[in-house]
């Protein structure tokens, strides 16, 4: 399943918004790691691609993905899982950049060993990103709750 199709599928799943959020992080990390060249081109050349009419489909796809992240955030606010009054644009764009950078680091982490630390698993990296984002997004009364597992798709 493509990244785009996976995102649309998750958006319409009948699960809690937090679990949708976890699943989107899971899908994005896996797809970026599965096709690093495409991910790198889309991320690093995004400004050129979205301004070129030949690549309108790239701009359209990026907008669709942004909208899915935004809708899941809104669903979380409506369900009382996420806090209100957040800047959705900054949250989504920061999240996308964070996941792309993290996937890039993960792919090439052997090039920059830090104190002989063992390589982390993809699951550990996903969990870190989820925990980091949810510590900001969660409604304060929910901060101590366990992290949701990504849904099977």
**Taking a C-beta distance cutoff of 8 angstroms, is the pair 10, 20 a contact?**
yes
State residue 111's pLDDT score: 53
Helix/strand/coil percentages in the chain, nearest 5: 70, 0, 25
Give this prediction's pTM.
Answer: 0.84
pLDDT at 49 over 80: no
What is the pLDDT at residue 44? 63
Among residues 41, 29, 50, the alpha carbon closest in space to that of 100 is found at 29
Over range 28-51, report the average pLDDT.
70
In the chain, the percentage of residues whose pLDDT exceeds 70 is 83
Mean pLDDT (the chain) is 84
CATH class of 3-110+132-141: mainly alpha
């Amino acid at each position: 399943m493509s990244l785009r199709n996976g995102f649309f599928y998750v958006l319409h799943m009948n699960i809690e918004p937090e679990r949708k959020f976890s699943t989107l992080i899971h899908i994005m990390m896996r797809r970026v790691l599965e096709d690093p060249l495409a991910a790198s081109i889309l991320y690093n050349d995004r400004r050129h691609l979205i301004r070129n009419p030949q690549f309108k489909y790239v701009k359209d796809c990026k907008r669709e993905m942004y909208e899915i992240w935004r809708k899941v955030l809104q669903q979380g606010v409506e369900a009382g899982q996420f806090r209100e009054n957040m800047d959705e644009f900054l949250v989504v764009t920061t999240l996308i950049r964070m996941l792309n950078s993290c996937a890039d680091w993960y792919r090439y982490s052997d090039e920059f060993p830090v104190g002989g630390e063992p390589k982390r698993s993809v699951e550990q990296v996903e969990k870190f990103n989820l925990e980091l984002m949810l510590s900001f997004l969660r409604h304060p009364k929910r901060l101590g709750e366990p992290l949701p597992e990504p849904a099977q798709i």
